[in-house]
Amino acid sequence: MIFSENFLNCPSCETIYEEPRILPCGETICSKCIPNTETEFDCVYCFAKHQSDSNFHPINKALAIAIESSINSNYLRCKYENFIKEKSSIELEYKNIISSLENPETSISDHCKLVINSIDLDCEDKIKTIQNERDTLIQKVVKYERNCLDQLKNNKEKIKTLSDKVKDLIKEYQLNSIGILESPQNEDPKEKLVKKHTLKSQISIEYNRFKILIFNSQILKYEKNTNKLEQDDFLGIIKLHEYQNINSEYLIKSPLIQDCSYSKIQLRHFYSNLFIFATTRLRNPANLTYELNIQTFDSKQCHNKRLFSLEKSRSKFLLKTYENFAYLWIDHPKNLIIKLTNRLNILNKSSTLETFDELLPTDKYILLYRLCIYQRRDILKVYDKNLILIMLLNNTQNPLIYYPSQIREMYLNESFYLFRTEELMYYVDRKTGEFVKSFELSLDLKVIKVTDENVIFVCQSKKDKILLIDFDGMIVEEIKLEGFSPKTLIYSSCIDNFEFIDTTSLAFYTY
């Protein structure tokens, strides 16, 4: 480029020229920088007097063209660089999956090496006394690896079929994604975006089937032990989890609360290996006062506890987590939203003035939803992460984000807001706030989690199976459940882990 960026800056305001005008002395400044006096002004560059009317001075056309060229050049360069970056990201997105599809033996071996490495790291501080135990554990991993590799030979055709299917889906996904980037500005990309997320969902499901096949329907994990060396299994234990069958007899059972008079149970999960558990109970029968009990725990013990007083039996509360923070809304004694750390320290709280039906924390905002039946409209309050109210939206006059009426539940993944009504699940783009698609989802199916690959895990009221639903609303896989009561609550802290609460005994089940 001929002109430097400094050359394009006005000497008076030191920013890029706006309508550059040439003064009689030859100096160029912005129109807005010419002093607004009655007739003339003293020039600070030549010390002569010039006309104060900016229209009297001619526009520096050469400089104006240079500025426009510079701006367009920077825009196109940034756009091209972003295109190249996105294109590379799309090509690399499923590189590891393709490698696993082409070399399943390596995938099995790599997974087992990670487990062995985890064992080694935990051994370093105890190496003098645990060498024999270490060897025993590693032998179990090696045996598992050998069994998987032997089984691999017997399933070559099935593996080849699944591998080719996932490769084809990935290729179609990449072509579709690049097509979105190359679409003209006047073309509506919505159809291609829906196709992209449908393919993403299908890739996740088919690749999960591939892993189930090559790992012989079992996944090996190492769980370290933090107890003293003198105890059994002092280093840790090796566990095998069934991919498609979960039996309560093989899970670890621990009591949440000794007092079973609690009700209205909710369980959430922090990014750390902690859970947060909330429930209500009658504290004083004499004056009918109630309490909300909140505690954090891992699979072994309770860590922190906090109580909130409630004024009535039907007091309502909502509890959600995002990263390592919990967000609690309670309606009594005041309508409050509270932000808690994973140690249950209160960071912020704010009055919401009215009751709400659903809560959804995100990376930037906290959404509180209320159905106003008598006013025939739905209200969505938006708070920042410090619980300061930013805006109040309604679904009849709302240009910022689409949401349906009569929302029952709200969810979130990296691409979408998910709003569930009595009959439908709605997908709304998080970036644009625009409606993308919806499909039928019966209220008989309880949502357990929504993955970033747009796979929804749900369970039936009978609690005999977990179903996997893809981006088109189709049931594509199921996980059998055995030994669980219909009153069991099911949660999921990660892709292959589920937690269960028996609401009758308040027992907690985990792997």
Radius of gyration of the chain (CA): 31
- 260 located within any domain: no
Which CATH number fits the domain that encloses residue 471?
Answer: 2.40.10
Residue 162 phi, psi dihedral angles, 5° rounding: -65, -40
* Token output for 90: 């799309």
CA gap 257, 454 in Å, rounded: 35
**In a structure prediction context, what are the per-residue pLDDT tens digits for the chain, which is 511 residues long?**
344 556 778 888 877 788 888 888 989 988 888 888 778 888 888 888 888 887 888 888 888 888 777 777 666 567 667 777 887 887 777 887 888 888 888 888 988 898 888 888 877 766 666 677 778 888 989 999 999 998 888 888 999 999 999 999 999 999 888 887 777 766 667 888 899 999 999 999 999 999 988 988 888 888 777 666 556 666 677 777 777 888 888 888 877 765 545 567 788 888 767 888 888 877 766 666 778 888 888 766 778 888 888 766 567 889 999 988 999 999 876 789 999 998 999 999 999 988 899 999 999 899 999 987 665 678 899 999 999 999 888 766 666 789 998 899 999 999 999 999 999 999 999 988 899 999 999 888 999 999 999 999 999 888 889 999 999 999 999 999 998 888 888 888 766 688 888 887 778 888 7
Residue 466 placed within a domain: yes
Give the C-alpha separation, 311 to 264, whole Å: 15
Taking the C-alpha atoms of residue 303 and residue 326, their distance in angstroms, rounded to an integer, is: 15
* Tally of domains in the chain: 3
Measured between alpha carbons, how far is 328 from 315 in angstroms, rounded to an integer?
13
- Per-residue CA distances from 239 to 215, 247, 332 (Å): 14, 14, 45
The reply to whether 149 falls in a domain is yes
Quote the CA–CA distance of 60 and 19 in Å, as a whole number.
8
Decide if 119 is inside a domain. no
Does residue 200 fall inside a structural domain? yes
> Nearest 5°: phi and psi at 178?
-65, -35
Q: Under a CB-based contact definition with an 8 Å cutoff, are residues 373 and 332 in contact?
A: no
Whether residue 115 is contained in a domain is answered as no
Could you tell me which residues are beta bridge partners of residue 280?
A: 263, 292
Query: Which of 193, 215, 237 is the C-terminal boundary of a domain?
Result: 215
Instruction: Supply the pLDDT for residue 350.
Output: 92
**Closest-CA residue to 50 (of 63, 62, 41):** 41
Instruction: Find tokens 């895990």 and name the residue.
Output: 457
100-180-79 Cα angle (round to 5): 105
Please report whether residue 499 resides in a domain: yes
User: What domain range is 175 assigned to?
Assistant: 136-215
Last residue of a domain, one of 71, 95, 114: 71
pTM value surpassing 0.85: no
24: preceding bond cis by omega (within 30 degrees):
no
Contact 317, 333 (CB under 8 A): no
Q: Pick from 256, 251, 253: which is nearest to 302 by CA?
A: 256
CA angle 167, 168, 171 (to 5 degrees): 85
- Domain annotation covers residue 32: yes
Last-in-domain residue among 215, 242, 270: 215
